[in-house]
Structure 1
Amino acid sequence: MPESDPAPPLAVDIDGTLTNRNRAVDPRVFDALREWPAPVVVATGKAAPYPVALCEFVGIPVRVIAENGGVVCFDTEECEEFVVVGDRAGAERVAERYREAGHDLGWGDLDLTNRWRETELAVSRESPLEPLRELAADEGLRVFDTGYAYHVTSPDVDKGEGLKTAADRLGRAPGDFVAIGDSENDAATFRVAGESYAVANADETAKREADYVMESGYAEGFLEALEAVGPK
């Protein structure tokens, strides 16, 4: 980061990183995010309305990477933009064929998990994986497991590419950022960020790619990482 910066900008996951083991956001992270003296980008596999709402309620500028890099949303003084990349039509074909094969996406009739998605498909981890992989491959798409859902997405879309876009909007380099996360989908962010921290509950892919693995898990591990990189 530039020598004049008091702290590095952050790229921060939500589920498993800002939450507790019951997937509720730990209230301690609100002040930590709001008081961080550099830009915070919230990077998640969730559809954009979720991280946008988190930014609004925390009281930080809307700087969001959603859908594992498929959406980058900025609503700030320096940038107002909604960038969408990916093959939503292909993902919808996978969903249709998956249902025709007798499988269920696993979210019920209302399916709030996919309702606002722009680029990909999320399937419950309780649903069969192998037929999903086969159908995705037929469409030239890939499936990866975030630990919370199976995501069907374009092979050139990931959080690392999303961070490159977000960094550009901030006039920064991806290497200026510290990334904090817990899952396979965070590994791409870890590879392009200047420094990366996996919380203790992270999966093996995230731990392998991270520069540091915290002693604590979930939001406690996130706060531990902030202590390590924050203003001294």
Structure 2
Amino acid sequence: MVPPLALDIDGTLTTPTGRIDPRVFELLPAWDAPVVFATGKAFPYPVALANFLGREETVIAENGGVAYVGGETTVVGDPDAAWAVVEAFRERGGAVGWGDGDTVNRWRETEVAVSPDADEALLREVAATVEDVEVVDTGYAFHVKSTGVSKGRALERVAEALDLDPAAFVAVGDSENDASTFRVAGESYAVANADAVAREAADEVVAEEFMDGTVSVLAELRERVE
């Protein structure tokens, strides 16, 4: 049997231009084991992806702030503290940077995402004044979130709900927010475009970037059981 998967989305299941790679729709619907989509995006995004793939809605969103499995939602973290940081950041001249609609944060429940074009130094300076809040750079946004929240901890909860050992999972990702998943999963891969934190935490860094790297991992996993 192929192993269960914990897959990041942005930078891992996408093209270099940020689009979902069409091979996702060829490879993942037929994967004969649980697939957990673990992302920094808000909850609706991985749920929608799971639906379009015809898979169970088994997802981790907001860097572990929201986990959904078996029809039950777990929400952890302190959104009030995250927003307090962002409001203080704004008062000191910082900008969240997503425009008037801000669909990036509209459905977030546990954290706030700030544009990668924002003043990172100022944001981190403000966050350092608030207890138990941190800023995580995923390459796609600066995420202001509770320090106790991580994809890895959420994967442990999801695995328990699925009656699986977290070590049974193979994780693939590209960013520092995937490092905690890599430490929990039994086997982990960083795609070639991964940042330094993810590369250091992974068991292996594959030669290919973005979805090309993920495809190579899935192919190797299938070869093991054939």
TM-score (norm 2): 0.97
Alignment counterpart, residue 222 of structure 1, candidates 209, 214, 218 = 214
2:89, 2:203 → 1: CA distance? 38
**Residues 50-129 of structure 1 aligned to structure 2 (within 5 Å):** 50-74=45-69, 79-129=70-120
Two-structure CA RMSD over aligned residues (Å) = 0.9
The answer for the alignment partner of 1:12 in structure 2 is: 7
Q: Gaps (5+ residues) in structure 2?
A: none
Question: How far 1:198 moved relative to its partner?
Answer: 0.7
1:162, 1:97 → 2: CA distance? 29
Moved over 2 A (4+): none
Question: How far 1:137 moved relative to its partner?
Answer: 2.0
CA contact under 8 A between 2:94 and 2:123: conserved in structure 1? no
Does residue 21 in structure 1 map to residue 16 in structure 2? yes
The answer for the alignment partner of 1:30 in structure 2 is: 25
The answer for the alignment partner of 1:200 in structure 2 is: 192
Residue type matched to 2:120 in 1? L
1:80, 1:52 → 2: CA distance? 12
Alignment counterpart, residue 150 of structure 2, candidates 158, 167, 171 = 158
**Residues 177-188 of structure 1 aligned to structure 2 (within 5 Å):** 177-188=169-180
2:4, 2:135 → 1: CA distance? 29
The C-alpha deviation readout for 1:91-142, integer Å capped at 9, x for no partner, is: 1111211111111101011101111001011111111012211222222200
Q: Gaps (5+ residues) in structure 1?
A: 1-5
Residue type matched to 1:31 in 2? E
TM-score (norm 1): 0.94
CA contact under 8 A between 2:86 and 2:112: conserved in structure 1? yes
Q: Could you say what secondary structure the match of 2:17 adopts?
A: coil
Q: Could you say what secondary structure the match of 1:164 adopts?
A: helix
**Which is further off, 96-105 or 178-187?**
96-105
1:136, 1:50 → 2: CA distance? 26
Question: How far 1:59 moved relative to its partner?
Answer: 1.0
The answer for the alignment partner of 2:137 in structure 1 is: 145
Matched residues, number: 223
- Percentage of matched positions with identical amino acids: 54
The answer for the alignment partner of 1:3 in structure 2 is: none
1:228, 1:182 → 2: CA distance? 18
